[in-house]
């Protein structure tokens, strides 16, 4: 009887314990979730406290060349609060114009007041006690006559430009005030898709605004925003005025410079682009040392290796990039690189795209040595090359290919080789090297070897200018081209759905 009594008590205790566990576990789980969110929130708050004192508000005053308004149609509506309209890739550097420019008063130079962001950064090479350096975008301070930097504590300083690099859209400013809190630079090569990032800047003049998101993608290039591209894509909300501000990780280290947004409204649409800090840091070091950027040069024309091209070269995978042309007496020619070679690695790093490869070469010091792994006739070959120095003439001689999916054609910069190959009579514009059968361009009877001189009455001198001008037609899905075939020039309107 006694044993039976004990057994009943034991059973009742177990049941009671199970009931308590059943009802308390969800509550405990919910509390743990809330606590986890609190910790995440505290992490963002910590980043804001540590980073904000180093973020600056940049105000720019200057003039723009009157030739802009005479040579091209108005690029935006001057009645709008910010001058970006529906451009596909918006520069979010908010500008304010003192009145609309009048075409009939060519002598007038209207003042331009612009705003953007930047941040004080610490150089890994040296420390400065009497001055501070600020990283920002070139397009924030371009054409500036007067630059004012405003700190979080409202102190204001006149800034001078140390150096700018329009091709990468990086600029370094200097102010005469040392020992300012500075941001440490992280390693953008270690960023992973899905990683938390924080954008801080001055959108629409709202000082030190913080937004949070994740890394959506890395290695974005061929966007037509800059000449040298390797963008970090993020969904952290960024808007006009954020240009030049830092993109930081949860440790408060800078991983990128906010530079551009994808937008049809002029505001945030969930896609922003930042220059990787590794690229910006290399550019900044050269600007601080020499005031300009010196880039490496191989002397080859490259193109993406499509699955079709890979198959035609006897490859199972479309890994690497294809050498389409080797310039005479170039570093590549001296190293033994040949037309038709497929480059799969550069200095031990896998080559995944033409844009990434171009950046690797450009950031290489002239006269430095580099190893290349190529595939030639199915065999891997290692070559050693001495990097040359890129000059303006050499850069113009290298063809850069850009396909247009909407129009169904591919264009390249005009080089002596292409001019001879296609019997091109023009030294301006971009040459059409491919027209897809059944495409909009094909139906309009546009031929390979023709030259596109203008897009919507805007002169285009190279592939990047062509890409930027074409993107402005994305909303209307119609574009006006000035095309030259032989010595004959004619306008063509192309529309797509």
SS3 label, residue 372: strand
Map tokens 């010196």 to a residue: 294
Q: How far apart are CA 17 and CA 247, in angstroms?
A: 50
* Cα-to-chain-centroid distance, residue 356: 12
SS3 label, residue 497: coil
Yes or no: say if 389 and 407 are a contact pair by the CB < 8 Å rule: no
Q: Please pick, among 87, 169, 230, 341, the residue that the annotation labels catalytic.
A: 169
139 labelled catalytic: yes
Cα torsion at 183, 89, 400, 486 (round to 10°)? Answer: -150
Q: How far apart are CA 251 and CA 402, in angstroms?
A: 38
Q: How far apart are CA 73 and CA 152, in angstroms?
A: 39
Q: How far apart are CA 159 and CA 136, in angstroms?
A: 12
The closest of 78, 352, 349 to 217, measured between CA atoms, is 352
Q: Which tokens belong to 433?
A: 């090297």
Q: Please pick, among 87, 122, 139, 473, the residue that the annotation labels catalytic.
A: 139
Identify the sign of the CA torsion 375, 380, 381, 382: positive
Yes or no: say if 338 and 360 are a contact pair by the CB < 8 Å rule: no
**What is the DSSP secondary-structure string of 157-168?**
EEEEEEEEETTT
243 labelled catalytic: yes
Rg (CA), the chain: 28
Q: Please pick, among 117, 122, 243, 439, the residue that the annotation labels catalytic.
A: 243
The closest of 352, 468, 484 to 425, measured between CA atoms, is 484
Q: Which residues pair with 478 in a beta bridge?
A: 495
Q: How far apart are CA 73 and CA 253, in angstroms?
A: 42
Q: How far apart are CA 454 and CA 495, in angstroms?
A: 16
Q: Which tokens belong to 328?
A: 């005479």
Report the catalytic residues.
139, 169, 243
């Amino acid at each position: 009887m006694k044993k039976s009594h004990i057994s009943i008590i034991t059973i009742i205790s177990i049941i009671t314990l199970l009931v308590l566990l059943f009802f308390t576990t969800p509550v405990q789980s919910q509390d743990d979730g809330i606590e986890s969110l609190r910790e995440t929130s505290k992490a963002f708050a910590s980043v804001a406290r540590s980073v904000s004192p180093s973020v600056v508000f940049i105000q720019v005053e200057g003039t723009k060349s009157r030739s802009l308004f005479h040579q091209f149609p108005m690029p935006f509506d001057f009645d709008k609060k910010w001058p970006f309209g529906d451009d596909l890739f918006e520069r979010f550097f908010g500008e304010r114009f003192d009145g609309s420019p009048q075409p009939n008063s060519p002598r007038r130079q209207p003042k331009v007041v612009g705003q953007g962001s930047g941040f004080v950064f610490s150089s890994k090479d040296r420390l400065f006690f009497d001055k501070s350096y600020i990283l920002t975008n070139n397009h924030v301070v371009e054409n500036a006559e007067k630059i004012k930097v405003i700190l979080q504590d409202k102190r204001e300083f006149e800034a001078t430009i140390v150096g700018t690099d329009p091709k990468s859209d990086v600029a370094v400013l200097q102010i005469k005030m040392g020992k300012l809190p500075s941001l440490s630079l992280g390693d953008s090569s270690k960023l992973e898709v899905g990683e938390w990032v924080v954008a801080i800047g001055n959108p629409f003049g709202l000082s030190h605004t913080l937004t949070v998101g994740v890394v959506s993608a890395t290695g974005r290039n061929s966007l037509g925003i800059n000449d040298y591209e390797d963008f970090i894509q993020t969904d952290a909300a960024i808007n006009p005025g954020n240009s030049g501000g830092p993109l930081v990780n949860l440790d408060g280290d800078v991983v990128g410079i906010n530079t551009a947004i994808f937008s049809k409204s002029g505001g945030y649409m969930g896609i922003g682009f930042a220059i990787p800090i590794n690229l910006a840091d290399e550019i900044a070091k050269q600007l601080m040392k020499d005031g300009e950027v010196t880039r490496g040069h191989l002397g080859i024309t490259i193109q993406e290796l499509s699955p079709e091209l890979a198959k035609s070269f006897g490859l199972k995978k479309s890994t690497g990039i294809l050498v389409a042309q080797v310039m005479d007496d170039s570093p590549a020619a001296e190293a033994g690189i040949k037309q038709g070679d497929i480059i799969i690695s550069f200095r031990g790093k896998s080559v995944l795209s033409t844009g990434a490869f171009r950046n690797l070469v450009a950031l290489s010091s002239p006269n430095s040595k580099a190893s290349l792994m190529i595939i030639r006739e199915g065999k891997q070959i290692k070559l050693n090359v001495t990097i040359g120095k890129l000059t303006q003439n050499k850069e113009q001689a290298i063809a850069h290919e850009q396909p247009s999916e909407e129009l169904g054609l591919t264009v390249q910069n005009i080089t002596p080789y292409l001019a001879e190959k296609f019997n091109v009579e023009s030294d301006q514009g971009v040459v059409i090297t491919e027209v897809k059968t059944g495409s909009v361009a094909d139906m309009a009877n546009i031929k390979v070897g023709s030259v596109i001189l203008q897009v919507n009455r805007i002169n285009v001198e190279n592939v990047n200018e062509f890409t930027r001008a074409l993107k402005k037609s994305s909303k209307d899905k119609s574009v006006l081209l000035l095309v030259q075939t032989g010595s004959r020039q004619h306008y063509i309107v192309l529309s797509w759905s």
